[in-house]
Chain A
Amino acid sequence: MIYYAIEVMAPLLLAGLGGLFAELAGVLNIALEGMMLAGAFAAIVTASLTGSILAGMLGGLLAGLLLAYLFYFVGIRMRANIFIVGLAINLLAAGSIPFLSSAMYGTKGVLRLPNVPRMPGLFVGMETGFPLIDQIFFGHSFGVYLTVPAVLLAGLVLQRTPFGLRLRSTGKNPETLRSVGLNPDHYRRAALLISGMGAGLAGSLLALRLGVYLPNVSAGRGWIALVTIYLGYKRPVGVLIAALCFALAEGVSVAAQGVLQIPGTILLSLPYVLTVLAMIVYSAMRRVGPSDA
């Protein structure tokens, strides 16, 4: 169960960290879900064409990047309502993937393509014999080992570089940035593109771990990633902890499904219920405690 939770955490965390950049730049990216889905589809297609896991991940990343640029262009450059643009991108992904899938492979269902390599487990054979430690650290798929460096990198960039400082002030007070001769839109663009890459990569991990593309494989994880940002108090380490909590909750619910015989369909609503509860707790806490953001 813990092994499973760690696997589930990786895509959530990557999408959440990307979304954190957008959030700090003042653009709530509600299109994470669509970007993840596009990343998952693109990853399977590229992996099948090239026979390489890395190329597949790159494909997923580029798909997220493409949608993020569209988000930037319409939402920031054309000054459209960023919510509606975000919804549009989710719909675009949900609508065009079945279209592309049937045009290219003749099916809009489960896409099982030839030549997609298996995601290898890393650090197999280094087990210590303590189940807990082994489950946390060893034998995970490649993407899992990206998460810790990603958290460190995100923290470093956001807190210790001029770019990170400017990005954060874009969200807090864009006028300050303008007064020193910088264009806040450039930072919004950078933040959105980073969030697109994170979500696209997250989607590619989801699909490549399974080795197939399932319709709606993201199953609400883009939304949960969004909530990890709030629950993590808009800090990279916080996002890590929040993503881990959600992943454990999913592990528990999958285990409960077997034991308590809860129908699988109902479990699909669990991410949304948990997200709402988390948002309520976050809002209520913010009212009581010292304001942070």
Chain B
Amino acid sequence: MSRSQPDSSIMVTVAAIAGALAVTVLLLIAVSSTPQAAVRAFFIGPFSNRFYLGNMLNVFSMLAITGLGMAVAFRAGVFNLGGEGQVYASALTATMTGLALASLPAVLGVPIALVVGMMTGAVIAGLSGLFRYLWDTDELITSFLIASACIPIVDYLIVGPLNDQASNLLTTERVPLAFRLPRLLAPSHLNPTLFIALLLLGAAYIALFRTVRGYEWRLSGLNRQFARYGGIHTGAYIVLPMLLSGALHGLAGGLFVFGTHYATLVGFSAGLGWNGIAVALIAKRHPLGVIPAAAAFAYLESGARIAMLHTDFTFELGTIIRAVIFLFVTASVVPQLQVGGRFNWIAARFSRKEQT
């Protein structure tokens, strides 16, 4: 596993981020008529004023939660590739709950709405866990497929029955003023989600590394057969991690509504789920590693978004950055890794199916 070769895996991580930086700079130079300004904006833009800095920190808090959601699943050896749809669908249910409970005080209404969001995410991801538990259906593919099936349905609901008639935008109604989380660094979007994210990371670290259940959780991820031999109910560690992973994505969706947008807009999850996977991989699936990984990613994304203002046309630079990071992040540059390394780990995943 990657953790047994700390030196080379750090090198790979650095190579991944350096590769993403290089590709970004090259693309910016290629598409901008003022390349110097664009590259400058990419590197120092996120720190240049309160607005950009606060927004970057807000992106960081969101990515920390989705990244943690991925990391806890990866730790147990299960994969949740449906983060994107889970965030989106949960945002919608949280928004609707918030609107329905508008008459309640915020201290009651917001938590209830967040819980509904978490439950939505948990159900969507949990299904894949359940299918794997019952029928050995690969949760990696079903989680992606189920979440992808949710996205057009949510799109339809926002544009159709749940559309805000008062606005011309593709959005739901906005949640009541009292339900909106306070802004910490106005006019930026930064809000208390930052503290919630940091608390969750700390709690996850303690739960995974300082409790018996966390030990069983990690052991199931390292070697499921060995864990079963040791008397651990490994079936539970397929469904539970998916539920928790989905719940964290649901929480991210809910907080994105109450902290940042106050409504669900079409397509507003904007890569939160995909980036969460990249963050978890860079973090080497460690809760505390999520902090630098999410910070690096938030910086890249924010810089790219600001630099876009200096280019001649807009495009999804974020998607390309993500692709480059994925391409680099698990590649092994050290020959020794080829034998006992990650490839065999993933190969073993598949041969397991062949041997049944």
Contact = CB atoms under 8 A, between A and B. Distances in A.
A78 B156 contact: no
B149 A276 contact: yes
B331 A80 contact: yes
Interface residues on A, range: 35 or more
Given A96-B320, A99-B320, A268-B152, A276 B145 contact: yes
Given A79-B337, A84-B281, A98 B315 contact: yes
Nearest to A96: B320
Chain B contact residues: over half helix, strand or loop, or mixed? helix
Given A103-B313, A269-B149, A283 B323 contact: no
A136 interface: no
B212 interface: no
B135 A273 contact: no
A85 B156 contact: no
A110 to B, nearest CB: 16
Contact of B137 (A108, A280, A291): A280
Contact of A283 (B137, B152, B329, B347): B137
A82 interface: yes
Interface stretch (A40-48, A87-95, A114-122): A87-95
Nearest to B337: A79
A83 B346 contact: yes
B148 interface: yes
Contact of B332 (A80, A95, A272, A275): A80
A8 to B, nearest CB: 18
Contacts of A94: 316, 319
A279 B132 CA distance: 11
A216 to B, nearest CB: 11
B226 interface: no
B218 interface: no
Interface residues of B, number: 61
Contacts of B315: 95, 98-99, 102, 108
A126 B97 CA distance: 61
A88 B134 CA distance: 30
Nearest to B161: A263
B135 A284 contact: yes
Contacts of B356: 286-287, 291
A71 to B, nearest CB: 10
A80 B350 contact: no
Nearest to A86: B326
Contact of B142 (A88, A106, A279): A279
A94 to B, nearest CB: 6
Contacts of B314: 102
Contacts of A1: none
Contacts, number: 154
Nearest to B319: A95
A223 interface: yes
Given A83-B346, A85-B327, A99 B146 contact: no
Contact of A266 (B153, B277, B337): B153
Contacts of A95: 315-320, 322-323
A102 B320 contact: no
Interface string B321-356: 011111101111100011001110011001101101
Nearest to A82: B346
Contact of B342 (A80, A91, A98, A269): A80
A265 B346 contact: no
A89 B323 contact: yes
A14 to B, nearest CB: 21
A88 B148 contact: no
Nearest to A223: B145
B140 interface: yes
A87 B331 contact: no
Contact of A279 (B30, B141, B351): B141
A284 B134 CA distance: 8
A287 B314 CA distance: 50
A266 B152 contact: yes
Contact of B330 (A81, A172, A286): A81
B6 interface: no
B138 A279 contact: yes
Nearest to B134: A284
B115 interface: no
Q: What 4 A-B pairs have minimum CB-CB distances, sorted nearest first?
A: A95-B319, A88-B326, A272-B149, A78-B331
7 contacts: A79-B332, A98-B316, A103-B31, A263-B156, A269-B153, A279-B131, A293-B354
